[in-house]
Amino acid sequence: MTQARLLSSRTLYRGPVFDVRRDRVIEPGGLEVTRDIVTHSGSVVLLPVFPDGRILLVRQYRHAVGRFLWELVAGRIDPGEPPLRAARRELLEETGYSARRLRKLLDLFPTPGFVSERMLVYLATGLHPGRARPEADERIQTGKFTLAALERKIRRGTLRDAKSIAALLYYARYLAR
């Protein structure tokens, strides 16, 4: 068996950002299990790079971890929304910038053990400033950093957002040099 066989599925919670579902399945290999899954419509992550090489990050309070975090621009893909449209929308909402070019860098699952969320990471270049349009519950600060400064933050453990670390290290390893 190469696919799981779904025996039953029940939604336990419906929310504005995610749902929680309980599935009873027979997984490949024959193991019958119950899995609770956080279902999510997916998200986009943007790595905005200026002509001088500096990278734009946002800082905001993340209640789930009880602290402010520096991270790349990111946001949920609305149901039915094309990912590129979501990427352009999130960049504008959170920073005020628009990008002439978006290039997909990564397609990843941040927490595949119990969350269905898929993240699409885009390199954003040809940036033009504008007016940010954050959502009502967002208080966002922006900052421009060199790649070297961000790599130091990663090494020191002061940049702790996983999606940002993955995207920045990918960029540093395969594109920046």
Domain ranges of the chain: 5-39, 43-174
Identify the pLDDT of residue 133. Answer: 78
The residue ranges of DSSP E strands in the chain, in sequence order, are 5-14, 19-26, 32-39, 43-48, 55-62, 67-71, 73-76, 98-108, 119-128, 141-145
pLDDT digit string, tens, across residues 12-54: 999 998 999 999 999 998 999 999 999 999 999 999 999 999 9
Identify the pLDDT of residue 140. Answer: 86
Identify the pLDDT of residue 1. Answer: 66
Find the catalytic residue in 71, 81, 94, 138.
138
pTM: 0.92
At 171, phi and psi to the nearest 5? Answer: -60, -45
167/174 Cα distance (integer angstroms): 11
Question: What is the residue-averaged pLDDT of the chain?
Answer: 94
Domain spanning 43-174, CATH architecture = Alpha-Beta Complex (3.90)
Whether the predicted pLDDT of 67 surpasses 70: yes
Say which range, 52-66, 95-109, 130-144, has the weakest mean pLDDT: 130-144
Write out the H or E segment, with its range, that includes residue 150.
Answer: helix 147-156
Whether the predicted pLDDT of 134 surpasses 80: no
Residue 99 DSSP SS3: strand
Catalytic residue status for 151: no
